Structure 1
């Protein structure tokens, strides 16, 4: 039994340079996702800001990631524009990593992270779009690998940062006494993750903002900048191979791209072109909406769970030790990464709808069991692992399935990626607000309700898909009948009875 058949392997060999390049840029995406949480306290000391101020940089990055995801669809028309967008964004990421140590106030840091978020959003949309465009009906397996690289980058960046994080203090007062030493920095660091951290009660930690910054986190960012540097170099190499650079000399491929770009310039907002959308059945639009809603919920669960599972674990009734609870987020992301590796094989053996329905059932069951065994610390670790294994494949499988249902004619990828980014930001803020008002014990209830809504939405998606297939078949038959009726009168010497 082989991992994939000869036809898929032949497709990969034909497009391996493009495919590996898109995979590598998602590694850059993963690096950016996970670096902010572990380094947030050291960045607070570097910028001499309060906890309330520094936690809003999460929102800055996430909001501009959403904008970047929406704008990424503008670069889909030609290979030239797509590769230039990926090259620019990966260079920006390396530059921002190198410049973050020079951001000495929270406004500068927020601007830097906003730019990074914009680059991440463009990468997210463009890489998914191009991979779906390359493989179409065979894209599911390659999308699983693509999203595996997010998890890989998310695992690497905290490992790089960890040796340079402050253990006891990162500010030294003028009298040479440590001003932060009364707090458990590891506990506080684990509590401040994601956009929703700004809504949690951080006023109980009145950390000083004056003193000499002792942090060495700058080295972590410089190392990550170097680790990311081969990615834009790889994109540039692909552009050179495709003869899309002026230095490549006279290039038929470059000349082919220019008219295409000029032709599409007036239609840069192709997704919103009313002429293209006129005549589409209602099911076409409902599929976009419901598909986006599913990823809004599932990616929102991933963001919320990784952001607040630590707070939930150290609060009543679990009251888990801070050091022990700190492993939960790492286990969750490790499970997601491992699962995406496994789903590379499963996506070849099984259809996308089957994988999605099993994954969503698993997510609902795990959250239900976590509610039942809410006092068990052991089951929280087991549930966190199983949840990561189940939920990881929903995004790539849903993306491939939706594009297949819509026959790769619409803007499903842009809609789905943007919806996922929106959900990751909004649900974290919503869950953070509820935890602030009601207490951390409602966290698991929120996740359970969200997972059940996601499952119901997918059942609705399958129903609308059935209606869409019937309406599309009827529309095709009517078109053929109309064409056959008009055909005799258009032929010389023909006679209509």
Structure 2
């Protein structure tokens, strides 16, 4: 174990500038993805739009995040294009934060969030790809740390926003001093809307005023976040300067290209195969691979489709479940569940940084998915206990936290770092997070809140079965790959029997 720790520490020392830069851009990703939820009601007042209109801003962000994830691999061709894209995306996020307070129409706000979503999707794919390229077979622990920084950013942004949120209605009618008496509890609405617009289907029951005097200080939260995020593009720019990738220092060779080529295995030559998720379907690139090669891509993507979908659905609907019968929790207590869930995910990823050094990715994935199934089964059994709901939410966050980084590291290792695995996995995860929320929301709307736990539990069983199938297929893939290599060696070195 000591030798393993020394080797990982040596790799980190060799690539610490790049690694810290990729971790920082994921912090920027977390800042952006978590700030919209708590501020959405103040933004509704700012744009003087209805709840039904403002919640489409969530869809705009999520859809273009999916688009950005799908095309992010296009910027993987060279280090310069990757870092240039990260520099642009992180700077765009700061610019979007700065201009959101100036968007006084819901269409303009949707466009701004679409731009931010596209930048977030590119960051998601490029940072994962670059860390896999740098560390390859040792990438699991560094990917765990990478995804820890999403949670860190997601914890910081609501804390910054909290002091600037309106405690009462932020639209005051001209003929009265306040309209709070006719408005629903704002904490209740914020918690309902916190899950990336998951409550879109159930907003028709609420009526909030759209005309009147706007009283909100939320602009300061976005401007502060724009300033907090500015060091991230500065860090990317500093890395580009250090590696002599800027026009002012192009005369010298690029150090990072040399270091990464010398510090990785020969398989790095194949990493250039990464492209957009659409380019992965190019028939010219599909020839010569066994069927198991594509099945592994599909299974890995399907597992992340389900697990990231569970994360999005749980974060989106746990509040709705808690305030509905039979629990009927108070709005403030139920609103803490989402924070508990995300805090557990962040702590889990921090813990799995250590566990990734000790155990293989298949073991961690098996442990995580079995834990997710057990917790959700217990939540269904003790569905009347508010205390167990908090406990189960925390343990569920811990268990599911490591699935994404572990699956990326595991799948890339199975495919020898020469396919489109990371692009496919990131895109599948983004798709699952968006689609499963819509499916679960529709089921809850038609069958009641208890169907929420049932949907997540069924999805967990499906995900675990897909993992078992993935492990089975990887044995077939590895055996077939070994047999093909042995046959190639026999052709190149025929026996000289009788000598």
TM, length-normalised to structure 1 = 0.94
Q: Equivalents in 1 of 2:179, 2:53: separation in Å?
A: 18
Change (3 A) 1:356 1:13: same
Q: Equivalents in 1 of 2:275, 2:390: separation in Å?
A: 53
Give, in angstroms, the shift of residue 213 of structure 1. Answer: 1.1
Change (3 A) 1:255 1:23: closer
- Name the residue aligned to 1:168: 168
- Name the residue aligned to 1:442: 451
- Name the residue aligned to 2:332: 323
- Name the residue aligned to 1:478: 487
Corresponding position: 1:48 with 2:48: yes
Give, in angstroms, the shift of residue 32 of structure 1. Answer: 1.1
- Name the residue aligned to 1:219: 220
- Name the residue aligned to 1:374: 383
Corresponding position: 1:248 with 2:249: yes
Question: 2:73–2:274: 8 Å Cα contact kept in structure 1?
Answer: no
Matches of residues 125-144 of structure 1 in structure 2 within 5 Å? Answer: 125-144=125-144
> Deviation string for 1:295-347 (max 9, x for gaps)?
00000000110111001000001000111111000000000101111111000
Change (3 A) 1:434 1:307: same
Corresponding position: 1:408 with 2:417: yes
Corresponding position: 1:276 with 2:285: yes
Give, in angstroms, the shift of residue 155 of structure 1. Answer: 0.3
Give, in angstroms, the shift of residue 486 of structure 1. Answer: 12
Matches of residues 305-344 of structure 1 in structure 2 within 5 Å? Answer: 305-344=314-353
Question: 1:196–1:430: 8 Å Cα contact kept in structure 2?
Answer: no
Change (3 A) 1:98 1:486: farther
Q: Equivalents in 2 of 1:3, 1:301: separation in Å?
A: 37
Question: 1:90–1:231: 8 Å Cα contact kept in structure 2?
Answer: yes
- Name the residue aligned to 1:190: 191
Matches of residues 72-471 of structure 1 in structure 2 within 5 Å? Answer: 72-182=72-182, 183-253=184-254, 271-471=280-480
Q: Equivalents in 2 of 1:164, 1:4: separation in Å?
A: 47
Q: 3-state DSSP class of the match of 1:5?
A: helix
Change (3 A) 1:40 1:3: farther
Change (3 A) 1:14 1:391: same
Q: Equivalents in 2 of 1:129, 1:218: separation in Å?
A: 35
- Name the residue aligned to 2:71: 71
Q: Equivalents in 1 of 2:190, 2:251: separation in Å?
A: 54
Q: Identify which range, 47-56 or 274-283, moves more after superposition.
A: 274-283
> Deviation string for 1:170-221 (max 9, x for gaps)?
0011124323443210011101133553543211111111111101100000
- Name the residue aligned to 1:490: none
Q: Equivalents in 1 of 2:416, 2:300: separation in Å?
A: 15
Give, in angstroms, the shift of residue 455 of structure 1. Answer: 0.6
Q: Equivalents in 1 of 2:387, 2:295: separation in Å?
A: 42
- Name the residue aligned to 2:264: none
Q: Identify which range, 120-129 or 207-216, moves more after superposition.
A: 207-216
Q: Equivalents in 2 of 1:199, 1:481: separation in Å?
A: 63
Give, in angstroms, the shift of residue 33 of structure 1. Answer: 1.3
Q: 3-state DSSP class of the match of 1:389?
A: helix
Q: 3-state DSSP class of the match of 1:252?
A: coil
- Mark the runs of 5 or more structure 1 residues left unpaired by the alignment: 488-496
> Deviation string for 1:392-412 (max 9, x for gaps)?
000001110000011101110
Count how many residue pairs are aligned between Structure 1 and Structure 2: 484
- Name the residue aligned to 1:491: none
Question: 2:192–2:199: 8 Å Cα contact kept in structure 1?
Answer: no
Q: 3-state DSSP class of the match of 2:363?
A: helix
Change (3 A) 1:123 1:438: same
Give, in angstroms, the shift of residue 275 of structure 1. Answer: 3.1
Give, in angstroms, the shift of residue 256 of structure 1. Answer: 7.9
Q: Equivalents in 1 of 2:376, 2:235: separation in Å?
A: 41
Change (3 A) 1:266 1:18: closer
